[in-house]
Amino acid sequence: MSVLTDEPVAADASALIETDILIIGAGPSGLYGAYCAGFRGLSVAVMDVLPQLGGQISAMYPEKPIFDIAGFTSVRGRDLVDNLVAQAEEHGTRYLLGHRAVELSYDAEGLPVVRSDQGQTVRAGAVVITGGVGTFTPRPLPAGEDFLGRGQVYFVPDPAAHAGHDVVVVGGGDSAFDWAALLAPLARSVRLVHRTARFRAHRASVEKVQALGIELITDCEVSGLTGAARLEEVEIRHRVTKDARRLPAQTVVAALGFVADLGPLRQWGLTLQARRIAVDSRMATNLPRVFAAGDITAYPGKVRLISVGFGEAATAVNNAATVIDPEAALFPGHSTEKEN
């Protein structure tokens, strides 16, 4: 694995990377697309703005069980990503992590050239965009920004880091309830605070948290965080009575959702439909040699599931292969026909 995050390469001729396929987005669809490219002997590079592989799964719910992956009654997010990475690396995949794709151009031969915000330039035979919902930014906790990195977090990639803590989770969606349930066995205490008595989370998630004995504090908002070097206490205030209550806390998880944005991709000239990239049945976009797959795509009848993204990634990569080499067969052959 080649991770170019720690020492970004300068934007000059020596920084040019050439590859058959550049995949933009290192989530499940992108990782499976890397495997599909490698399986048929194509070189592949994967670029992602996040510092780790796995996309939203790694950033938001690595410990959450996922139930819609074919062949698995349930698989933990972290395990799914680990297996996809291992599969992609069987054929050699180059990773450019911490790199946001910012510019697309075409060289004299009509090949796409992508430049990252770190100055990395990649020339590819084809580009496959698998950026999920695009760049996602957590909605801030207004009272807690001063404690980011000092007790306030948006994601919980390592639950053990909060063992023995008094934890306050803020939010009423699935992520908030997932974090609360995940941390309950490790933390000294867990409380969930939400601004209303109605939750967006799935009923089963709410019932699971209630069964764990986690205190649900409703109709309240976090009005202040206090502490010296690190977070020590959280103040919450009732939205109607304005009564205040102070809770001990060494960790506050702000699970208030996120804002998704296609970012620089909007300037590439792609045909967009409601913040998604329009594709045809080959997963081709309106731009030459540019394909897309996964949640970022739009077409009639689209179903946004990880399992669907896998099929789209395979379709995109194999159609891209025929653009790179018009003599190549669209069907790559069955994996069982390949020698180990």
Domain 2-136+259-337: CATH class, spelled out: alpha beta
- The reply to whether 136 sits in an annotated binding site is yes
Q: Dump pLDDT digits (tens) for 73-128.
A: 999 888 999 999 999 998 889 999 999 999 999 999 999 999 999 999 999 999 99
CA distance 12 to 5: 17
CA distance 235 to 221: 9
Q: Dump pLDDT digits (tens) for 8-63.
A: 333 344 479 999 999 999 999 999 999 999 999 999 999 998 888 998 888 777 77
| 3-class state of residue 173 by DSSP | coil
Q: What is the DSSP letter of 214?
A: P
Closest to 152 (Cα-Cα) out of 217, 226, 52, 63: 226
Looking at residue 258, its pLDDT comes to 77
- The reply to whether 29 sits in an annotated binding site is yes
Looking at residue 315, its pLDDT comes to 98
CA distance 251 to 254: 10
Q: Dump pLDDT digits (tens) for 189-202.
A: 999 999 999 999 88
- The reply to whether 82 sits in an annotated binding site is no
- The reply to whether 48 sits in an annotated binding site is yes
In this prediction the pTM is 0.78
Cβ–Cβ under 8 Å, residues 22 and 113 = no
- pLDDT band at 325, cuts 50/70/90? very high
Q: Dump pLDDT digits (tens) for 127-146.
A: 999 987 666 678 889 887 88
CA distance 60 to 26: 14
- The reply to whether 130 sits in an annotated binding site is no
Dihedral angle over CA of 293, 275, 196, 57, nearest 10: 20
Residue 61's Cβ-count burial label (10 Å; 0-12, 13-18, 19+) is buried
- The reply to whether 32 sits in an annotated binding site is no
Looking at residue 13, its pLDDT comes to 40
Q: Which helix (H) or strand (E) holds 67?
A: none
- pLDDT band at 216, cuts 50/70/90? very high
Q: Dump pLDDT digits (tens) for 143-174.
A: 878 899 899 998 887 889 999 999 999 999 98
Cβ–Cβ under 8 Å, residues 41 and 135 = no
Residue 163 main-chain phi, psi, to 5 deg: -60, 135
Does residue 6 surpass a pLDDT of 70? no
| Superfamily per CATH, domain 140-256 | FAD/NAD(P)-binding domain (3.50.50.60)
Residue 118's Cβ-count burial label (10 Å; 0-12, 13-18, 19+) is buried
Mean pLDDT of 293-319: 96
- The reply to whether 61 sits in an annotated binding site is yes
Closest to 249 (Cα-Cα) out of 218, 229, 226: 226
- The reply to whether 295 sits in an annotated binding site is yes
Cβ–Cβ under 8 Å, residues 35 and 90 = yes
Domains 2-136+259-337 and 140-256 share a fold: yes
How do the domains of the chain map onto residue ranges?
A: 2-136+259-337, 140-256
